[in-house]
Structure 1
Amino acid sequence: MLSLADLTLLLLCAAVAAWLWRGHGIRERALELVKRHCAKLDIELLDGNVALRGLALQRDTRGNRRLARLYDFEFTVTGEQRLSGSISMFGQQLGRIELDAYPISTPQEEPVATQHEAKVIQLQDWKRRHDRMDH
């Protein structure tokens, strides 16, 4: 027969296993949210994963202090530089996503002179024409 101590130990192990199983689901949800966020910002998530950094008490959107799981990840904009990001999760709910500062790439535009044929007007000519129009 099981003693009370054995039963307590068994229930404790089951609770830890359930907590770890639930944590895996939360990690998968965090990864999905990070992938979506990176795609929206047109940056690349490196290694395709998030790593559990720890647990912390943080304020949620209502201002209540709650236990949050904190995950770290890395991303790149240029393909050369690894930058860090983090995500906090309150259960399955997103707390916030924070990214290191990164350069924003803009599409390269052609110089104005090559887009259209440039027409240069000398200042003296322009003044003469406008002086005649005023009179």
Structure 2
Amino acid sequence: MIELFDVFLLMLFASACAWLWRGHGIRERALLLTQQHCSKVDVELLDGNVALRRLALLPDARGRKRLARVYGFEFTVTGEQRHEGSITMFGQQLGRIELAPHPFRTPPPDSAPVIDLQRWRSSREHSDGRPPGD
């Protein structure tokens, strides 16, 4: 015969499974948001994953304390050094993404000059050929 304690254990087990399943969905969303952020700031997400670091009560955007999952990840700029980052999730909502201090890529030098000096001078000359100020 099923007793009340057996029903309690079954409900406890089902609740734990549901909480883990939901946590997996939150982790997948955190990974997607991290990939989008890394591509936006032009860094490469290493290992293609995020790992749960801790559960904590942290203030959200409104200042209220809420249960948050903090995930960690690693990224690189140059391919030589690993840097750490973290993403905070309040349920399915993004809290913040933080990247450790890292070097930025310098854009390649442009071959075209920024200002074409000849065109600038010709646009500034008077119609009679005198330079401005004469």
Q: Taking structure 1 as the reference length, what is the TM-score of the superposition? A: 0.80
Distance in 2, matches of 1:8 and 1:44, equals 47
Larger radius of gyration: 1
Q: Does 1:8 align with 2:8?
A: yes
Runs of 4+ in 1 over 4 A off after TM superposition: none
**Residues paired across the two proteins, number:** 116
1:40 maps to a residue whose letter is K
1:83 maps to a residue whose letter is H
Quote how far apart the aligned CAs of 1:110 are.
Answer: 6.3
Residue aligning to 1:71: 71
The verdict on how the C-alpha distance between 1:91 and 1:110 changes in structure 2, with shifts beyond 3 A counting, is: closer
Judging by fraction of residues, say which structure has more helix: 1
Ranges in structure 2 where 5+ consecutive residues have no aligned partner: 117-132
Residue aligning to 2:128: none
Residue aligning to 2:108: 108
Residue aligning to 1:55: 55
Distance in 2, matches of 1:20 and 1:75, equals 26
Alignment of 1:84-123 (within 5 A): 84-109=84-109
Deviations 1:66-97 (A, max 9, x none): 00001000000000000000001000000110
1:105 maps to a residue whose letter is R
Q: Secondary structure at the match of 1:34?
A: helix
Q: Secondary structure at the match of 2:47?
A: strand
The verdict on how the C-alpha distance between 1:25 and 1:110 changes in structure 2, with shifts beyond 3 A counting, is: closer
Q: Secondary structure at the match of 1:105?
A: coil
Residue aligning to 2:35: 35
Once superposed, what is the RMSD of the aligned Cα atoms?
Answer: 2.0
1:28 maps to a residue whose letter is E
Q: Secondary structure at the match of 1:85?
A: strand
Q: Taking structure 2 as the reference length, what is the TM-score of the superposition? A: 0.81
1:65 maps to a residue whose letter is K
Residue aligning to 2:119: none
1:8 maps to a residue whose letter is F
Quote how far apart the aligned CAs of 1:108 are.
Answer: 3.2
